[in-house]
Structure 1
Amino acid sequence: MNILVIGAGGVGIGLATSVASQGANVSIYARGKTAKAIKENGIKRCGLFTHYEIGEIPVYESYEEIPKSHFDYIFICSKTTANEDIAENLNRNRDILKESTKIIIFQNGFGNDEHYLKYFTKKQVFSARVITGFTRPERHISEVTVYTEPILLGSLQGENPDSLQEIADLITASGIKCEITTEVDKYLWAKMLYNCTLNPLGAILDVTYGQLTENPYTLDIMNSIIDEIFEVIKTSPYETLWDSPDEYRDIFYSKLVPDTYNHYSSTHQDIKKKIPTEIDSLNGKVIQLGKLNNVNVKTNEFIYNLIKAIESTF
């Protein structure tokens, strides 16, 4: 099995190491210092679960270098801000894919498959729900820092995900449980509820997820974000795992936030690095669907605008 991983951050390095440790032939698309570090050191997964090191791994710094008709799977593990560029490049260089190649999107947010569906069929494009925490302490190393539930693979377009079982089996065999599902939309919206409520607000205030729950003012903001997202889901062709905002809040405050109390969000990390955030795929997607379905999402809009204001200073 030949797999190309695009995006050599914590998730990309972590998944690349996972499937390579179980015998898959893995290549990585990376550039600059990251490509150099992987070429010199290979890749490594540490932290929770089994530790693995892969000594040598092909690294490509341009699409022109990538072998033709070679890959069975493309893992998209980049920031969502790169999706338009990646989708266009894969289309321009589609001779690196086989007719049966499948693209699996391992990213935050919702609707990221839309960029790839401009060029590829519904039978080729799949999505993953990842709530395992990966960080990158060094450019070639991924550390698994948090695990709460399995990685889930499926289709937002109603396609049968059974063909992804071999990928799920490889990841599971590496120590991180992974499953296929016909309801990936429900789980992605569950992740959206969590990320949209915590991610930008924690970044704006420079605090951990747990600290947000200890302030009555931030509690009001988070509760409003949750209410608005449920209204958006209700008027959209999507579902999630809870019937009401109150039902979700029960598990959010009793389980989900306490399990990640000391966590700083990816948006927080991006702002510290002064790079564009993934806010358009998070609260931005809520705003888009809210406008489409005439739902008031003023709190999501306010949070979104604050992040965009911070980004404008970079």
Structure 2
Amino acid sequence: MNESQSPTYLIYGAGAIGSVLGGFLHKINRSVTFAGRGSHLLAIKEQGLRITGIWGEHLVPPEEIDILSDPLNREKRYSTILLSVKSKDTETAAREAAELLAEDGIMVSIQNGLGNWETIARLVGEKRTVGARVIFGAEIPVPGLAKVTVNADDVLLGEPFCPVNRALLQTLKDDLRLSGIPARAVSKEEIWSALWGKVLYNCSLNPLGAILEVPYGRLGENEETRMIIRGIIEEIFLVCQALKVPLPYKGADDYYRFLLETQLPPTRDHRASMLQDILAKRKTEIEALNGAISRLARENEIPTPYNDLLTLLIKFKEKRESQGPGPQG
């Protein structure tokens, strides 16, 4: 990026998180284009984008909303693409978005789970791949409205493989901070550690909350569910040891205490995203979370019965909801 040029942002996957990021970047007069589908994108195109919640009230009027109308039109290239799609859609979305990325641009994974960074790097190159750890929560109560519900920590940005366009990475970090979204750039080791830290959190709570259909707080209050959570965590630490993944915790017991005492309280009323996906008849991200742990464990001959079982139960629940209720006895 030339020093005199401003970045051009493409939000590829304008769901809840993508809408918040795009709306806040627009607030500081950055060039932002939204790409997505469904009723939410149609609503923001016709009525504008409203953002509410813990970071205040904001409105992007419809006349200022720029929608990517034709993904196949490759005349315009974007310096920074924020890929904010479900892990199951990474391959398709990254392949499409790659055609819209400037030669010296960066594609930033704003996603949960394992394997996304490697997929993006395979499609756009390691020198254009940026990893992010996003740990604020958002939802879409009605189409056209994105609500920020919780923020557990800063957005972290890092280079998972090798140096990228540092000017663009620095500008993204500065733009997020200027817009009101806390953000930091971290080292390669720190961004991988942060990714696995979020995987620990998601694997411990998300599928269990979806299966039992209770908010996260209930999981921490119950002795039986705490035992399951502990088993999940112990298995993930065994996988991390085998893969030599650096984690900012002394061990499974240390993270278990951190989860219950620090991470759970502010998100006690949060509903699992997997449950929201299942109720909406969408596929969940189980394969990029507990399913990924099970696959990596098998490759390293590590037994992971807790993660295996949760993966199977979520898959059953996905199929049951998509097929409708069975015959009544």
Report the Cα distance in structure 2 between the residues aligned to 1:161 and 1:117, rounded to whole angstroms. Answer: 14
* Aligned residue among 209, 218, 228 for 1:211: 218
1:285-304 equivalences in 2 (<5 Å) = 285-304=292-311
Q: 1:123 and 2:166 equivalent?
A: no
Compute the displacement of 1:160 (Å). Answer: 5.8
Inter-partner Cα distance in structure 1 for 2:69 and 2:238: 43
Asked whether 1:166 is paired with 2:171, we answer: yes
Pair 291,61 (structure 1): closer, same or farther in 2 beyond 3 Å: farther
Partner of 1:80: 87
Shift of 1:109: 1.0
- Aligned position for 2:39: 33
Residue number in structure 1 paired with 2:3:
none
* Matching of residue 179 in structure 1 with residue 184 in structure 2: yes
Structure 1, residues 25-56: CA drift from partner, whole Å, max 9, x if none?
00011224233212112222211124322212
Identity within the alignment, %: 33
Is contact 1:193-1:226 (8 Å) kept? Answer: yes
Q: Alignment partner for residue 137 of structure 1, among 141, 148, 156?
A: 141
CA distance, structure 2, for counterparts of residue 32 and residue 224 of structure 1: 39
Look up the SS of the partner of 1:184 in the other structure. helix
- 8 Å CA contact retained: 2:211, 2:314: yes
1:58 is the counterpart of 2:71: no
2:24 pairs, out of 18, 26, 37, with 18
Asked whether the equivalents of residues 49 and 145 of structure 2 are also in contact (C-alpha less than 8 Å), the reply is yes
What SS does the corresponding residue of 1:144 show, helix, strand or coil? strand
- List runs of 5+ in structure 1 lacking aligned partners: none
Shift of 1:137: 1.8
Q: Deviations over 1:2-27 (max 9, x none)?
A: 11111111101000001111121000
Write the deviation string for residues 238-273 of structure 1: whole angstroms up to 9, x where unpaired.
211102011111211111111111111110111111
Partner of 1:270: 277
Q: Which residue of 2 aligns with 1:230?
A: 237
Matched, 1:254 2:257: no
The residue aligned with 2:150 is 146
CA contact (8 A) 1:128 1:154 kept: yes
8 Å CA contact 1:13–1:44 kept in 2: the answer is: no
SS at structure 2 position matched to 1:99: strand
Contact 2:207 2:314 survives alignment (8 Å): yes
Number of residue-to-residue matches in the alignment: 310
Deviations 1:195-226 (A, max 9, x none): 00000000000001110122222111110000
> Is the 2:121–2:129 contact (alpha carbons within 8 Å) kept by the matching residues of 1?
yes
Q: Do the aligned partners of 1:110 and 1:282 also contact (CA within 8 Å) in 2?
A: yes
TM-score (norm 1): 0.94
Q: Which runs of 5+ in 2 are unaligned?
A: 1-6, 323-329
Question: Conserved in 2, the CA contact under 8 Å of 1:165 and 1:179?
Answer: no
Cα displacement string for residues 69-112 of structure 1 (whole angstroms, at most 9, x for unaligned residues): 42001111111111111123234xx2x32111110010111221
- CA–CA distance in 1 between the matches of 2:206 and 2:91? 23
Q: Could you tell me how far apart the structure 2 residues matched to 1:103 and 1:161 are?
A: 11
Residue 61 of structure 1: how far off its partner (Å): 4.1
Q: Is the 8 A contact 1:50 1:174 kept in 2?
A: no
Deviation at 1:162, TM superposition (A): 4.1
Q: For residues 264 and 101 of structure 2, what CA distance do their matches in structure 1 show?
A: 41
Superposed CA RMSD in Å reads 1.5
Report the AA paired with residue 31 of structure 1: R
Return the offset for 1:161. 7.8
SS at 2:32 equivalent: strand
Contact 1:129 1:187 in 2 (8 A): yes
* Structure 1: distance between partners of 2:16 and 2:263: 21
Distance 1:36 1:241, change over 3 A: same
Match of 1:44 in 2: 50
Contact 1:18–1:170 (CA under 8 A) maintained in structure 2: no
CA contact under 8 A between 1:135 and 1:142: conserved in structure 2? yes
CA contact (8 A) 2:127 2:162 kept: no
